[in-house]
């Protein structure tokens, strides 16, 4: 309950800041000379990719942070003293319907590349295909092929009302190599190569500058032992070419295949941590 109150208090502060910023920094997106509103404000909801497509010639620079557990309390600064996972990424709009990106995450020294392709677009519906290839680079003796993992999803987002936008993402992730571990109590912990996911997300627009976000990635069917579904709750704040996302999440992993396969935090035990994303768009259609 105390975490819930803290979360609501932080949201109230951020919404107030966003309302103050509204009169100072206008928001515009243009496409072929016309204003074009995406259903989500950034290329990612929080962890999972969104249907938002980067316009041709535009570059999105992303910084993502995920900290330790809030349950660490004040002595660990509610997780901020713990090791953080950090990802830096760049995504470029090759055409209005296709973008390519690359990034690097701290955990497992992971490099990733990704492609997003738009299949359908109208004022109330977006359909995209997303694929991600990642390689882990710690010096642990594995061959290059054994370091690879993949994530592939179909992203369908829809405008429900002027304020509510939802997204579904059936997806599949795969790791070329996984390990089976014997724990201290002699039980065997097995990891799965493949996971099937039905991602769900929603954005509730509170003002022209601020929205509430929910990002949920449940696994359908078999999963790696002692892992849990990923849930993230946050706030979107848009200011011109910047989108700030402040959130609580049940994972420290940032690339979606690692989040799905490795997250051990339990939603039921409220094992949440603080995080934030910063998206900065560079290009002629953003001010």
| DSSP E strand boundaries for the chain | 30-31, 34-35, 59-69, 85-95, 98-105, 110-122, 125-136, 148-159, 164-175, 180-182, 188-190, 194-205, 210-217, 219-220, 230-239, 242-249, 273-282
- Answering whether pTM is above 0.85, one says no
Predicted pLDDT of residue 260: 94
According to the model, what pLDDT value does residue 52 have?
A: 95
**Among candidate residues 207, 143, 133, the one with its CA nearest the CA of residue 175:** 133
**Picking from 65-79, 156-170, 190-204, 210-224, which range would have the lowest pLDDT averaged per residue?**
65-79
Does the pLDDT of residue 142 top 80, yes or no? yes
Architecture of domain 2-260: Beta Barrel (2.40)
pLDDT per residue as tens digits for the range 98-111: 999 999 999 999 99
Paired tokens of 20: 């103050």
Q: What pLDDT digit, counting tens, does each position of 229-274 carry?
A: 999 999 999 887 789 999 999 999 999 999 999 998 887 777 788 8
Q: What is the DSSP letter of 52?
A: -
- Give the whole-angstrom CA distance, residue 225 versus residue 234: 28
Q: What is the pLDDT of residues 22-61, one digit of tens each?
A: 433 344 443 433 335 789 999 999 999 999 999 999 999 9
> What is the average pLDDT across 157-176?
97
Number of Cα atoms under 13 Å in the Cβ half of residue 173: 31
User: Would you list the domain boundaries of the chain?
Assistant: 2-260
């Amino acid at each position: 309950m105390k975490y819930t109150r803290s979360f609501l208090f932080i949201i109230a502060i951020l919404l107030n800041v966003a309302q103050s910023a509204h009169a100072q920094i206008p928001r515009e997106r243009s496409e072929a000379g016309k204003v074009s509103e995406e259903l989500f404000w950034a290329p990612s909801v929080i962890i999972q990719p969104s249907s938002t497509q980067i316009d041709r010639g535009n570059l999105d620079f992303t910084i993502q942070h995920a900290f330790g557990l809030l349950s660490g309390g004040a002595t660990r600064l509610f997780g901020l003293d713990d090791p953080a996972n950090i990802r830096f990424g760049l995504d470029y709009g090759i055409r209005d319907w296709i973008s390519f990106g690359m990034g690097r995450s701290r955990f497992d020294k992971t490099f990733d590349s990704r492609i997003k392709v738009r299949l359908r677009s109208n004022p109330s519906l977006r359909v995209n295909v997303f694929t991600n290839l990642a390689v882990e680079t710690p010096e642990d003796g594995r061959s290059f092929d054994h370091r690879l993992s993949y994530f592939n999803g179909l992203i369908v987002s829809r405008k429900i009302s002027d304020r509510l936008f939802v997204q579904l993402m059936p997806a599949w992730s795969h790791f070329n190599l996984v390990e089976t571990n014997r724990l201290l109590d002699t039980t065997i912990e097995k990891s799965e190569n493949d996971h099937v996911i039905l991602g769900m997300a929603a954005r509730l627009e509170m003002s022209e500058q601020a929205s509430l976000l929910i990002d949920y990635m449940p696994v359908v069917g078999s999963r790696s032992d002692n892992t849990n579904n990923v849930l993230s709750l946050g706030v979107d704040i848009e200011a011109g070419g910047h989108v700030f996302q402040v959130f609580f999440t049940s994972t420290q992993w940032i690339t979606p295949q690692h989040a799905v396969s490795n997250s051990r935090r339990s939603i039921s035990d409220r094992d949440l941590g603080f995080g934030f994303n910063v998206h900065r768009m560079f290009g002629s259609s953003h001010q």
